[in-house]
Amino acid sequence: MRLAFLLLLCSLTVSLAAQPDRWQQRAEYQMNIDVDVKKNQYAGTQQLTYYNNSPDTLDKVFYHLYFNAFQPGSMMDVRNLNLPDADGRVADRISLLAEDEIGYIKVKKLSQNGAAVQYETVGTILEVALNQPILPGTSVQFDMEWDAQVPLQIRRSGRDNAEGIEYSMAQWYPKMAEYDYQGWHANPYVGREFHGVWGDFDVKITIDRDYVVGGTGYLQNPEEIGYGYAPEPKKRKKKITYHFKAPNVHDFMWGADPDYRHLTKEREDGMTMHFFFQPGERTTENWENLPRVMDEAFSYINEHYGHYPYEQYSFVQGGDGGMEYPMATLITGERSFTSLVGVSVHELMHSWYQMIMGTNESLYAWMDEGFTSWASSEVMNHLRKQGLIPGEAVENPHARTFASLRGFRQSDLVEPLTIHADHFATNAAYSVAAYVNGNVFQEQLRYIIGEEAHQRTLLRYFNDWKFKHPNPNDFIRIAEKESGMELDWYKEYWVHGTDYADYAVKTVEAAGDATEITLEKVGRMPMPLEILVTLTDGSEHWYYTAPRILRATKAQPDYASNWNVLEDWPWTHPTYRFRVQHNLGSVQSVQINPRGRMFEDDVENNSWGEE
């Protein structure tokens, strides 16, 4: 009775809780490919059931044909030839590809509900004019046949990477472009960032029997395969078929090499980590030590950022650095142990801030690379604390990130975070906006709303928005709800503009038995301020003033035992005056932003007296 009542109560609570209201399309892929490893080509068939859950009638659809980027004269090629600071991995390499080194996806046949449709290949996009419009709330089946050539590895995907991995197969199939509340996202493949339709993938890869394949999805026929998935089968046919299924993902990646060694580790919660690497002097020992460390990383991440919803994750040696995919990553493997752990943590962290949240990273790269970088630094610091990687844990693992942002902002290359990822004027500006500004955004938010509200924000963001393509407003609304603060101004200054905060101690003067401190707002962006007054007897007194538009006060932080909340500071007022009840002679120093979690362009003007 009691249990039943409780259950009823629980289900009521769930249904009454505000659920984000956002429709999204859905795709169910069934693909069969047959790989010719001598020619580095493959033939593919795809049956795609596409659900139009939008309120709109669609009279066209778009597919990505990413491999077409790896041809001389492609948009990716020309872009890299013209960028002032092109990625060295690309540079002019596409322009030099020979016929048997280029990549392509050539669509041979496409039908909609059994009837052939008109389509045109325009670079990396297939434009499809539908026979019948897809009405809201209906689904349609597309059947496609195509031929593909795997390019020599230039960027992310391709064959024969620098470490000799034969196939790094990302962006390898015709992929339906996403249509969402912001319309179509048929972005040509120019350099970076992806956005896709959530769905189920059923993929059969037929390849010569000596190839070990790992990546996204659960292998359905391990007993036919062996190779670390199951005991070795008695015999294999000349060609074997790997059958994978991946539920509720927006992409599918695989790697293949005859030399892969495949290790697995089952975690306490039942999920399994897979590791695929090419044994050698520069890999074996580090890769054998990796599972133990990633096990602890998983535990920390699950607890702090939300529980990983799949039963498997694969670390696959391949690609050209590190790149995230659903349930898997492609990483280069010949690294120092710390670097191997670092890239593994970063790409794993992307499962939260890209694969599971599915933020449109072309538009909001800072929410995916930035949040990932922030969380990765936290995880790495934890691993250092646990003694699992070399080095000492530090008080602020983001200090160098703050410093590098400060440095970059001295250049004339700064662009706002709202630029589309492909359209930044320089790679440097993109990298800083995405990785660095996004990282600082998160740490500074923690400073603004406080540790506990921030922790709740991250977990609620995950639970409310997983599998739903959240945008910046969705994130900041969660932070507002969990902190009780008004935070739109923070998002707007940080994301839409490039003028950030800077505060100074202007004067510290005697006022009878008290001391009067005058602060100055030098930068344009308002921020809550922490001011540390240290007395000559060594005691520390913390003062706090929030911008009036915050409409709330931060809870007393753990690090501030003597915490004094001052009047709000209206952002229109260039200076701010307050008194401390100690005479000037007893004040040793006054310091703004002593913990450095508020980003300021100038930190030289933050102190008075001797620290």
Q: Which is nearer to Zn ion, 280 or 321 (CB)?
A: 321
SS3 of 361, please? Answer: coil
- DSSP class of residue 400? H
Which of 321, 283, 335, 409 lies closest to 88 in space, CA to CA? 321
- Binding letters toward Zn ion, positions 333-372, x by CB under 5 A: ------------------------------------x---
Contacts of 396 (CB under 8 A, 6+ apart): 595, 596, 597
- DSSP class of residue 4? H
Segments of 318-471 assigned E as strands: 322-325, 328-331
Q: How far is the CB of 264 from Zn ion (least distance, A)?
A: 25
Q: Which is nearer to Zn ion, 156 or 446 (CB)?
A: 156
Q: How far is the CB of 458 from Zn ion (least distance, A)?
A: 17
Distances in Å between the alpha carbon of 255 and those of 167, 248, 344?
Answer: 5, 20, 16
Which of 280, 597, 277, 327 lies closest to 445 in space, CA to CA? 597
β pairing state of 104-112 and 115-116? antiparallel
- Binding letters toward Zn ion, positions 116-145, x by CB under 5 A: ------------------------------
- Residue 106's DSSP bridge partners are 147
Which of 258, 259, 349, 252 lies closest to 308 in space, CA to CA? 349
- Binding letters toward Zn ion, positions 289-328, x by CB under 5 A: ----------------------------------------
Q: What is the rounded CA–CA span in Å between residue 103 and residue 149? A: 5
Q: Which is nearer to Zn ion, 37 or 434 (CB)?
A: 434
Helices (H) and strands (E) in the chain, counts: 13, 31
Which of 536, 529, 531, 527 lies closest to 516 in space, CA to CA? 531
Q: Which is nearer to Zn ion, 438 or 472 (CB)?
A: 438
Q: Which is nearer to Zn ion, 439 or 471 (CB)?
A: 439
Q: How far is the CB of 331 from Zn ion (least distance, A)?
A: 11
Q: How far is the CB of 368 from Zn ion (least distance, A)?
A: 7
Q: Which is nearer to Zn ion, 166 or 369 (CB)?
A: 369
Q: What is the rounded CA–CA span in Å between residue 158 and residue 188? A: 18
Q: How far is the CB of 376 from Zn ion (least distance, A)?
A: 8
Q: How far is the CB of 512 from Zn ion (least distance, A)?
A: 56
Q: Which is nearer to Zn ion, 349 or 388 (CB)?
A: 349
Tell me, what amino acid is at 577? R
Of all residues in the shown chain, the one whose CB is closest to Zn ion is 369
Number of residues this chain uses to bind Zn ion (CB under 5 A) = 1
Q: How far is the CB of 347 from Zn ion (least distance, A)?
A: 7
Q: How far is the CB of 372 from Zn ion (least distance, A)?
A: 5
Q: Which is nearer to Zn ion, 101 or 320 (CB)?
A: 320
Q: Which residues bind Zn ion (CB under 5 A)?
A: 369
